[in-house]
A and B are shown apart, each in its own frame.
Chain A
Amino acid sequence: MPYIDTKNDIAGIRGLMQFRPDVAIALNQLAQVLLADEASLSKRDRELIASFVSSRNDCTFCMTSHGAIAAHLPEGNHELVEAIWKDYKTAPIDDKLKSLLQIAEKVAKGGLHVTPSDIAAAKDKGASDMDIHDTVLIAATFCMFNRYVDGLGATTPDDPGFYEIVGKQRAAEGYLTKSVLVKD
C-alpha cells in the first residue's frame, strides 16, 4: 500500500502515475527515449543497465520489472539478468558492457564517484560518447524512478507472473502504451 492515498489499487509505478497523469506522460516519454527508441546501445543492454542500477538501489519493483523486460528482448534471458545482479564482472557479457555497468554503479552512488579512469576504460573497450552519455543518464534516471517508487511505498507484487506480463508487454511495445494489467 502506498504511503499516500493514490485513489487506485494499481501495483508499482503505474499506481503512482495514475495519481498524477500529466507527470506520468513526461516520465513515460523519458523512459521511451532512453530505453525503447533507437539509440547507440541495444535495447537489451539499456534495460540491463536499468535493472542493474535498481538492484544496487535495492528497488525490487524496478529491478525485477526491467530485468524481465531485458529477458524478453533479443539475446536476453533470466539467467543473464540474475548473473548481472549477482556480479556483473563475472557475468557472460562483453567487456564494453562491463565497463558501462561499472560507470552505472558509480553513478548510483553519486555523480562525483565517476572517475576519468572509469571513462577511459569504457572508451578503451569501444564505448562511444553517446554510449557513455546514455549509460550515465539511464543510471541517473533509475536513481529517480527507484526513489519515486520506494519513497512513496508503491505496491511491489510478490508474484513472478506479474513481472512476466510487464516484461513481455514493455519489451514488445515500449513505454507509451496502457498497461495490460490496468482495467478500465
Chain B
Amino acid sequence: MPYINLHPDLFGITSLLDFRPEAAAPLCRLTQILLRGPSTLTEAERELIAAHVSSLNECIFCSTAHTEATCLLPGGSETGIEPMQTDLEVLHLSDKMKSLLGIAAKVQKNGNQVTQEDIGKAHLYGATDLEIHDTVLIASLFCLYNRYVDGLATKTPSAPEFYTNLGKRITARGYLMPEDGYHATDYKPK
C-alpha cells in the first residue's frame, strides 16, 4: 500500500509521475537527455548504470525495469546482467565500463566517496570528461528515483511480464511524458 493516495491502476514511478505532473515534466526531460540523448555511451551502457545503482539501492522496481531495458538494447544482454545483481565481477564488461560502474557505485554511497584516482582510472581506460560527468549524474539521478519510489512505498508488481512490457515501452518510446498522461493499459494485476 503506497503511503499517499496514488492512482490505483498505476505502479512504481509511473504512479508518482501521475501524482505530481509539474515535477514529472523536468524529471522526464532530464532522464530523456541522460539516457536517450546524443552520447558516446550506448543506450545499453547508460541503462546499465541506472540498473546497477538501483540494485545497490535495493530498489526492486527500478532495478528490474532498467535491467529489462538494458537487455532489450543492442549489446545489453551480452553483459549478463540480472535484476538486483550487485556483483560486477560476474558481468562481461569493458575496462572502461568497469571503471565507470565503479564510480557509479561510489556515488551510490555518497558523492564524497569518489576520488581523483577513480576518475584517473576511468580516463586511463578511455572515458571522456563528458562520459564521466554523465555517469555521475545518471548514478545520482537513480539515487533520487530509488528513494522516491521506495520512500513512498509505491506498488512493485512481482509479475515478470509487467517489466517486459515496461522495458519495451522505455526502449521504444523513451522517457518523455505521454501527452495524454499515464495509463495502466498494458498490465492488470491478478
Contact = CB atoms under 8 A, between A and B. Distances in A.
B150 A148 contact: no
A81 interface: no
Interface residues of A, number: 51
Contacts of A29: 25-26, 29
Given A143-B143, A145-B140, A151 B58 contact: no
A37 interface: yes
In this complex, the interface size class of chain B, counting residues with CB under 8 Å from chain A, is 35 or more
Contacts of B107: 147, 151
B126 interface: no
A121 to B, nearest CB: 12
19 contacts: A20-B137, A23-B33, A29-B26, A32-B26, A110-B58, A111-B57, A111-B59, A111-B147, A119-B4, A130-B20, A133-B16, A133-B19, A133-B152, A140-B143, A140-B144, A147-B110, A147-B111, A150-B110, A152-B111
A86 B14 CA distance: 36
Contacts of B37: 22
A129 B5 contact: yes
Interface string A114-153: 1010010000000001101110110111011111111111
- Main secondary structure on A side of the interface with B: helix
Contacts of B19: 133
A40 to B, nearest CB: 11
Interface of B: 3-5, 16, 19-20, 22-23, 25-27, 29-30, 33-34, 37, 57-59, 103, 106-107, 110-112, 114, 116, 119, 129-130, 132-134, 136-137, 139-141, 143-153
A101 to B, nearest CB: 14
Contact of A153 (B3, B59, B116, B147): B116
A33 interface: yes
A89 interface: no
Contact of B23 (A4, A25, A137): A137
A152 B135 CA distance: 10
B147 A148 contact: no
Nearest to A27: B30
A166 B11 CA distance: 39
Nearest to A57: B110
Contacts of A149: 111
A6 B112 CA distance: 19
B136 A37 contact: no
Given A57-B111, A110-B57, A150-B112, A23 B34 contact: yes
